[in-house]
Amino acid sequence: MKAYEVKIKVPYEVLITLHKSPDEFAEDIRQQAAIRYYKNRLLSLGKAADLAGLSRFEFIDYLRFNGESIFKYTDEELEEIQKDALELEKILK
C-alpha cells in the first residue's frame, strides 16, 4: 500500500502535558482521525482500520473502547428496523 507522510507541528508543551512522545502523539491523532472519518461515513471500517494502523478486529475493539458503535444507521434506518422488529414480534406470537 502506498503511503504519504504528513507532518504537523505540535507545541512541545502539549506533548509534555499529555506525557506523549511525538510517535505516540502521531498514533493517537491517526486513530482519532480514523474514528471521526468512520463515524462520518467518510471511510469504511477497513479503510479506517488501515488509517489507524490496526487490524479490523483491533479497530472494532478500539471503537468499543472509545464508546463508539461499529453499526452506523441513520434515524430513518433505525425507525425502519424498529418497525420491522415489531412486525416480526407480532408474527411470532
How many domains does one find in the chain? 1
Residue where the block lists cell 502521531: 26
- Its pTM stands at 0.72
Q: How many helices (H) and strands (E) does the chain have?
A: 5, 0
Q: Please report which confidence band the pLDDT of residue 10 belongs to, taking 50, 70 and 90 as the band edges.
A: very high
Q: For residue 55, tell me if it sits in a domain.
A: yes
Range of the domain at 63: 12-92
Q: For residue 3, tell me if it sits in a domain.
A: no
Write the pLDDT tens digit of every residue in 11-52: 999 999 999 999 999 999 999 999 999 999 899 999 999 999
Q: How far is residue 9's CA from residue 4's CA, in Å, rounded to a whole number?
A: 17
Average pLDDT over residues 65-87: 81
pLDDT for the residue 23: 93
pLDDT for the residue 55: 93
pLDDT for the residue 80: 83
Phi-psi region of 50 (alpha: psi -120 to 50; beta: other; left: phi over 0): alpha
